[in-house]
Amino acid sequence: SALASSAQTQEGTRFEVKIRIKEKEVFRPGMSVTADIETRSKTNVLAVPIQSVTTRLPKKSGETNAVSVAVQKTNTGSVAGSTNTSKADRKAIEAANKPVEVVFVVENDMAKMVPVKRGISDDEYVEIIEGLTEGREVVSGGYKAISRDLEDSKKVKQGVATLASSPEKK
């Protein structure tokens, strides 16, 4: 319908660039181009599917998981409940309540949450620079399944294996 076709919009960003072209005959004034610009590239990196990386809040006091243990290791020496907390202590408390990026790996058909530090990414994969070793089987699935439903020590149903790997081109 006319309404459906008029509702479609095309968004883009325009950049003026200067390029040198060897074969000029195929180009005419006023022509435009669509380009994918690669800003950074790495090879031989540990990478997982982008949908496998999510965030989790540290558990409340008394509960432990991989995220709360990682936060405790980085925040030793902070005093909770003190009315005279230093700026460093306040920052440590804020960091303890900040979501941490994690992936879930499979161990004995159970999901195990592993805090990670990510590097560069593309549309499909994200580089993992800390927290994961090559060959570990990571849980991958839809957004809701990974970001909302999956929990530490939850039984997982296995399908096609997704291994942490070093793809040829990142």
Is the pLDDT higher at 5 or at 16? 16
Considering the entire predicted model, what is its pTM?
Answer: 0.60
Domain assignment present for residue 87? The answer is yes
Average pLDDT over residues 102-115: 94
CB 76 within 8 A of CB 89: no
Helix (H, G, I), strand (E, B) or coil at 77: coil
DSSP class of residue 113?
A: E
Helix (H, G, I), strand (E, B) or coil at 66: helix
pLDDT at 15 over 70: yes
Please check whether residues 84 and 160 belong to one and the same domain: no
Strand 100-107, strand 110-115: pairing: antiparallel
Question: Which of 132, 116, 140, 135 is closest to 49 using CA atoms?
Answer: 140
Range of the domain at 166: 42-57+99-170
- How many whole angstroms separate alpha carbon 111 and alpha carbon 103? 9
Please check whether residues 72 and 151 belong to one and the same domain: no
Band of residue 169 on the pLDDT scale cut at 50, 70, 90: very low
pLDDT at 29 over 90: no
Please check whether residues 84 and 165 belong to one and the same domain: no
Please check whether residues 106 and 166 belong to one and the same domain: yes
For the stretch 110-135, pLDDT in tens is: 999 999 999 999 889 999 999 999 99
For the stretch 41-89, pLDDT in tens is: 888 999 999 999 999 987 665 555 555 555 455 444 444 544 566 787 7
Helix (H, G, I), strand (E, B) or coil at 28: coil
CB atoms closer than 10 angstroms to residue 166: 13
Please check whether residues 133 and 161 belong to one and the same domain: yes
Question: Which of 87, 106, 93 is closest to 58 using CA atoms?
Answer: 93
Please check whether residues 81 and 124 belong to one and the same domain: no
